[in-house]
A and B are shown apart, each in its own frame.
Chain A
Amino acid sequence: MKNASHKLRQQALLLIAACLLNPGTSFAKLPAGYTNSPFNVPHVPDQLLVQFKAGFSSDFIEARLSNLGTRRLSRFRAVNVELVQVPGGLNLERFAQELARESMIAFVEPNYRYKVSRRPNDANYSSQWQLENTGGNFIGGSGAGIPGADLNMVAAWDIEALGSGSRIAIIDDAVEITHEDLAPNVVSGGKCFESGTDYCAGGPNNPNPSASDQDHGTLVAGAALARGDNVTGVASPAWRASLLAYKTDLTSAAITAAINDAISSNAHIINMSFGGPTPSQSTRAALAAAQAAGILAITSAGNADANNDRSSAHYPSNYDLPNVIAVAASDGYDDIAGFSQWGAFIVELAAPGSRVQTTAVNDSYRSVSGTSFSSPLVAGVAALIRAHTGATGNNAWKQTRAHLLYGGVNGLGLGGSLTPGRDRKSIPGRVQAGRLDAERALQGPPGGVVVINGFTVDDSATGNGNGLLDANESADLVIELENVWSTETNVIGTLVPFDSSNIPNAFESGQLTADQPTQTFGSIAQDQKVTARFPVTLGNVTGNEHYFLTLQLQSDSGPLPDRYFMIEIGTLQNGVQVTQSIQRLNFDEFHAWHIDVPPGASNLVISTTADNPTNGTCRHSDGLDYPASIDIDLLVRYNAPPDYAIALDPPEGDESFFVDPLTEISGNCGGHETVTFPNPPRAGTYHIVVVNFDQVRHDYTLVANFDAPQEGSILFDQAQYATVESDGFVNLSVSRTGGAGAVSIDYATRDSSATSVSDYTASSGTLSWNDGETGSKTFQVSTTDDGVFEPDEQFFVDLSNPTGGATLGSPSTATVTITDDDNPGELGFTSAAYQVTENGLVATIGVSRTNGNKGLLTVNYTTMDGTASAGADYQAANGTLVWMDGETSEKFFDIPIIEDPMIEADETVLLAISGPTPAVVLTRADAVLTIDDNDDPGSVSFEQAGYSLSETDGNLTVTVNRNGGDLAGNASVDYATADLTATAGGDYQATSGTLSWLAGEGGAKTFVVVINDDSVIESNESFSLNLSNPSSGLTVSGPGTINVEILDDDDPGQLQFATASQSINEGSASLTVTVNRAAGAKGAVGVSYSTSGGSAISGTDFTAVSGNLVWADGDTAAKSFTVSITNDSLVENSESFTIALSSPTNGARLGTPSTLTATIIDNDRQPVSGGGGGGALGWLGLGFLLMTMSRRRTWAA
Chain B
Amino acid sequence: MQKSKTVVSSDQFVSGQLMIRFNDDVSTARAEEIVHAEGAEILTRYSDPRMFHIRLPATLDVAGGMQRFETYDETDFVEPNKIFSVEEVKE
A257-B46, A260-B46, A303-B89 in contact; A645/B82 too (CB < 8 A)? no
Q: Is the beta-carbon distance between B10 and A657 smaller than 8 angstroms?
A: yes
A868 to chain B, nearest CB (A): 57
With a 10 A CB-CB cut-off, give which of B7, B11, B53, B86 has the most chain A CB atoms: B86
Interface residues of B in 48-71 (CB under 8 A from A): 48, 51, 53
| Cα separation A302 to B86 with both chains bound (whole Å) | 9
Please, which residues of chain A bring their CB within 8 A of the CB of B73? none
| Cα separation A651 to B88 with both chains bound (whole Å) | 12
Q: Is the beta-carbon distance between B88 and A668 smaller than 8 angstroms?
A: no
User: Is B25 among interface residues, defined by CB-CB distance under 8 A?
Assistant: no
Please, which residues of chain A bring their CB within 8 A of the CB of B84? 250-252, 255, 274-276, 315
Please, which residues of chain A bring their CB within 8 A of the CB of B19? 252-253, 256, 280-282
Interface residues of A in 318-349 (CB under 8 A from B): 339
Q: Is the beta-carbon distance between A657 and B9 smaller than 8 angstroms?
A: yes
Q: Is the beta-carbon distance between A621 and B4 smaller than 8 angstroms?
A: yes
| Cα separation A173 to B77 with both chains bound (whole Å) | 26
Please, which residues of chain B bring their CB within 8 A of the CB of A619? 5-6
With a 10 A CB-CB cut-off, give which of B47, B83, B87, B89 has the most chain A CB atoms: B87
**Which of the 9-residue segments A364-372, A750-758, A808-816 touches chain B?**
A364-372
Residue in B5, B12, B51, B86 whose beta carbon sits within 8 Å of that of A173 in the complex: B86
Q: Is the beta-carbon distance between A289 and B81 smaller than 8 angstroms?
A: no
Chain A contact residue count (CB 8 A cutoff): 66
A195-B53, A216-B88, A285-B21 in contact; A277/B81 too (CB < 8 A)? no
| Cα separation A645 to B12 with both chains bound (whole Å) | 13
Q: Is the beta-carbon distance between B6 and A282 smaller than 8 angstroms?
A: no
User: Is A773 among interface residues, defined by CB-CB distance under 8 A?
Assistant: no
Can you list, as one digit per residue, whether each of B29-44 has a CB less than 8 Å from chain A (1) or not (0)?
0000000000000011
B73 to chain A, nearest CB (A): 17
Please, which residues of chain A bring their CB within 8 A of the CB of B8? 656-657
Interface residues of A in 224-262 (CB under 8 A from B): 249-253, 255-257, 260
Can you list, as one digit per residue, whether each of A526-566 has a CB less than 8 Å from chain B (1) or not (0)?
00000000000000000000000000000000000000000
Q: Is the beta-carbon distance between A659 and B7 smaller than 8 angstroms?
A: yes
Interface residues of A in 737-766 (CB under 8 A from B): none
Please, which residues of chain B bring their CB within 8 A of the CB of A654? 85, 90
| Cα separation A339 to B91 with both chains bound (whole Å) | 11
User: Is A278 among interface residues, defined by CB-CB distance under 8 A?
Assistant: yes
With a 10 A CB-CB cut-off, give which of B6, B13, B43, B89 has the most chain A CB atoms: B89
Please, which residues of chain B bring their CB within 8 A of the CB of A668? 2, 4-5
| Cα separation A75 to B37 with both chains bound (whole Å) | 87
Can you list, as one digit per residue, whether each of A649-670 has a CB less than 8 Å from chain B (1) or not (0)?
0111010111100000101111
With a 10 A CB-CB cut-off, give which of B4, B9, B82 has the most chain A CB atoms: B82
| Cα separation A373 to B86 with both chains bound (whole Å) | 11
Residue in A251, A263, A372, A622 whose beta carbon sits within 8 Å of that of B87 in the complex: A372
| Cα separation A255 to B17 with both chains bound (whole Å) | 15
| Cα separation A276 to B86 with both chains bound (whole Å) | 9
Q: Is the beta-carbon distance between A281 and B77 smaller than 8 angstroms?
A: yes
Q: Is the beta-carbon distance between A252 and B79 smaller than 8 angstroms?
A: yes
Please, which residues of chain A bring their CB within 8 A of the CB of B47? 260, 263-264, 289
* Chain A minimum-CB-distance residue to B79: A281
| Cα separation A715 to B70 with both chains bound (whole Å) | 43
Residue in B3, B10, B51, B81 whose beta carbon sits within 8 Å of that of A669 in the complex: B3
Q: Is the beta-carbon distance between B6 and A623 smaller than 8 angstroms?
A: yes
Q: Is the beta-carbon distance between A285 and B51 smaller than 8 angstroms?
A: yes
Q: Is the beta-carbon distance between B51 and A274 smaller than 8 angstroms?
A: no
User: Is A1171 among interface residues, defined by CB-CB distance under 8 A?
Assistant: no
| Cα separation A289 to B43 with both chains bound (whole Å) | 21
Q: Is the beta-carbon distance between A250 and B83 smaller than 8 angstroms?
A: yes
| Cα separation A620 to B81 with both chains bound (whole Å) | 29
Q: Is the beta-carbon distance between B14 and A256 smaller than 8 angstroms?
A: no
| Cα separation A621 to B81 with both chains bound (whole Å) | 27
Interface residues of A in 248-307 (CB under 8 A from B): 249-253, 255-257, 260, 263-264, 273-278, 280-282, 285-286, 289, 300, 302-303
A250-B84, A370-B87 in contact; A656/B10 too (CB < 8 A)? yes
| Cα separation A253 to B13 with both chains bound (whole Å) | 11
Please, which residues of chain A bring their CB within 8 A of the CB of B85? 250, 274-276, 654, 656
Q: Is the beta-carbon distance between B86 and A372 smaller than 8 angstroms?
A: yes
Q: Is the beta-carbon distance between B11 and A277 smaller than 8 angstroms?
A: yes
Please, which residues of chain A bring their CB within 8 A of the CB of B82? 251-252, 276, 278, 280
User: Is A219 among interface residues, defined by CB-CB distance under 8 A?
Assistant: yes
User: Is A589 among interface residues, defined by CB-CB distance under 8 A?
Assistant: no
User: Is A55 among interface residues, defined by CB-CB distance under 8 A?
Assistant: no
| Cα separation A693 to B6 with both chains bound (whole Å) | 13
Please, which residues of chain A bring their CB within 8 A of the CB of B9? 277, 657-659
Please, which residues of chain A bring their CB within 8 A of the CB of B81? 195, 251-253
Please, which residues of chain A bring their CB within 8 A of the CB of B4? 620-621, 667-669
A219-B88, A651-B91 in contact; A620/B46 too (CB < 8 A)? no
| Cα separation A216 to B53 with both chains bound (whole Å) | 25
* Chain A minimum-CB-distance residue to B78: A281
| Cα separation A140 to B30 with both chains bound (whole Å) | 59
Q: Is the beta-carbon distance between A275 and B87 smaller than 8 angstroms?
A: yes
* Chain B minimum-CB-distance residue to A216: B86
Q: Is the beta-carbon distance between A253 and B11 smaller than 8 angstroms?
A: no
A274-B84, A275-B84, A668-B2 in contact; A195/B14 too (CB < 8 A)? yes
Can you list, as one digit per residue, whether each of A354-394 has a CB less than 8 Å from chain B (1) or not (0)?
01000000000000111111000000000000000000000
Please, which residues of chain A bring their CB within 8 A of the CB of B13? 251
Q: Is the beta-carbon distance between A621 and B86 smaller than 8 angstroms?
A: no
B67 to chain A, nearest CB (A): 16
* Chain B minimum-CB-distance residue to A353: B89
Q: Is the beta-carbon distance between B86 and A618 smaller than 8 angstroms?
A: no
* Chain B minimum-CB-distance residue to A651: B91
Q: Is the beta-carbon distance between A369 and B53 smaller than 8 angstroms?
A: no
Interface residues of A in 55-90 (CB under 8 A from B): none
| Cα separation A219 to B89 with both chains bound (whole Å) | 12
Please, which residues of chain B bring their CB within 8 A of the CB of A263? 47
| Cα separation A657 to B7 with both chains bound (whole Å) | 6
| Cα separation A278 to B43 with both chains bound (whole Å) | 23
Mark A residues whose CB is within 8 Å of B: 172-173, 193, 195-196, 216, 219, 249-253, 255-257, 260, 263-264, 273-278, 280-282, 285-286, 289, 300, 302-303, 315, 339, 355, 368-373, 618-623, 631, 633, 645, 647, 650-652, 654, 656-659, 665, 667-670, 693
Q: What would 10 more interface pairs be, CB under 8 Å, given A276-B83, A276-B84, A282-B77?
A: A251-B13, A252-B81, A257-B44, A273-B86, A274-B84, A280-B79, A282-B21, A368-B89, A373-B88, A657-B7
Among all A-B residue pairs, the 5 with the closest Cβ atoms: A656-B10, A253-B53, A282-B19, A370-B88, A216-B86
**Would you list 10 pairs from A and B whose C-beta atoms are within 8 A, ordered by A residue?**
A193-B44, A251-B82, A252-B82, A252-B84, A276-B11, A282-B53, A289-B47, A621-B6, A652-B89, A656-B8
